C-alpha cells in the first residue's frame, strides 16, 4: 500500500514554455502533499506544501508565481513550472503521507530546460 | 526547524562488507524514515522507524529517540546497494526534513 505515482519521469522543454508535473496517491487519500527539488549531488529541499482545497504554502525563497501548485482532489497535486528557464532544470519529487507508512515519495521528474 | 546530520558523507565498500550509517537529529521527532535513492533518482522507502528496531533482509535500523539518533545497518553489501541513503525526520510540523545523505559505493 501507499503508492505515489509521479509523471512524467523525464521532460525536456524549451526555455519560456511551461511544464506540468502530476503527483497521484494511488491507494490512499492525501490531504497534504509535498514538493521537493533536488540539485545534483545534494539533498532534497522542500519547495512547498500542497493542501487539498486551499492554497499551497511555499518555503522562503520559492517563487510561487513560477512554481504553481494545485491540489484539486485528495489524490492529485500538480506542480507547473511556468516560463521555464535553464536554471529551473532540476529533479523534482513529490511526497504524500499516510498514517501507516509515513511519507511515500513519487519516482521523481527530471526537468531539463534547453 | 529540526537539524538532521548524517554520517559518513561518503562510504566505499567491497562487496560482502558490513556498514553502519548514522542519523543525528536536533529535536524530538514523531516520524523518521530511511530512504535509498538509486542511480536513477528514485527514492525507495527502507524503514519507517520513529523508535525501536526493524529488520528487512540484510538491512536493519534502530532509532533511539531519547538520544536523538538512528542507525542503518547494511550487512553483506552488494553492488545494488550503491546509491545515496537519506534520513528524513519530522517533528511537530509533520513536514519531513532530509539530511544531506550518505553516498555509498559498493565495489564488486
B71 phi/psi in degrees, rounded to 5:
-125, 140
CB contact (8 A) between residue A108 and residue B43: yes
| Burial tier of A7 (Cβ tally within 10 Å: 0-12, 13-18, 19+) | middle
Q: What pLDDT is attached to residue A105?
A: 87
For the stretch A51-107, pLDDT in tens is 888 889 999 999 999 999 998 888 999 999 999 999 999 999 999 876 666 788 898
Q: What angle do CA B88, B30, B70 make, to 5 degrees?
A: 50
Q: What does the mean pLDDT of chain A come to?
A: 91
The Cα–Cα gap between B89 and B85 comes to 13
The whole-number average pLDDT for the span B1-18 is 95
Query: Does residue B35 carry a pLDDT above 80?
Result: yes
CA nearest neighbour of A14 among A114, A87, A81, A82:
A114
> B97 to chain A: which residues are within 8 Å by CB?
46
Give the A:B interface size as CB pairs under 8 Å. 47
Is residue B103 within 8 Å of B45, Cβ to Cβ?
no
Amino acid at each position: 500500500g501507499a503508492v505515489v505515482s509521479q509523471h512524467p519521469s523525464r521532460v525536456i522543454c524549451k526555455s519560456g514554455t511551461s511544464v506540468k508535473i502530476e503527483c497521484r496517491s494511488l491507494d490512499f487519500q492525501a490531504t497534504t502533499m509535498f514538493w521537493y527539488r533536488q540539485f545534483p549531488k545534494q539533498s532534497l529541499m522542500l519547495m512547498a506544501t500542497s493542501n487539498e482545497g486551499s492554497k499551497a504554502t511555499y518555503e522562503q525563497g520559492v517563487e510561487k508565481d513560477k512554481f504553481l501548485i494545485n491540489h484539486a482532489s485528495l489524490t492529485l497535486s500538480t506542480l507547473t513550472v511556468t516560463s521555464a528557464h535553464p536554471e529551473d532544470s532540476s529533479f523534482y519529487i513529490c511526497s504524500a503521507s499516510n498514517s501507516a507508512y509515513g511519507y511515500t515519495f513519487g519516482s521523481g521528474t527530471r526537468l531539463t530546460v534547453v | 526547524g529540526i537539524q538532521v546530520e548524517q554520517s559518513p558523507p561518503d562510504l566505499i565498500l567491497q562487496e560482502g562488507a558490513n556498514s553502519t550509517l548514522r542519523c543525528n537529529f536536533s529535536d524530538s521527532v514523531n516520524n523518521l524514515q530511511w530512504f535509498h535513492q538509486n542511480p536513477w533518482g528514485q527514492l525507495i522507502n527502507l524503514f519507517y522507524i520513529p523508535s525501536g528496531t526493524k529488520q528487512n533482509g540484510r538491512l536493519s535500523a534502530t532509532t533511539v529517540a531519547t538520544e536523538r539518533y538512528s542507525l542503518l545497518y547494511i550487512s553483506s553489501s552488494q553492488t545494488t546497494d550503491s546509491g545515496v541513503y537519506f534520513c528524513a525526520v519530522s517533528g511537530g510540523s509533520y513536514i519531513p526534513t532530509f539530511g544531506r545523505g550518505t553516498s555509498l559505493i559498493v565495489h564488486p
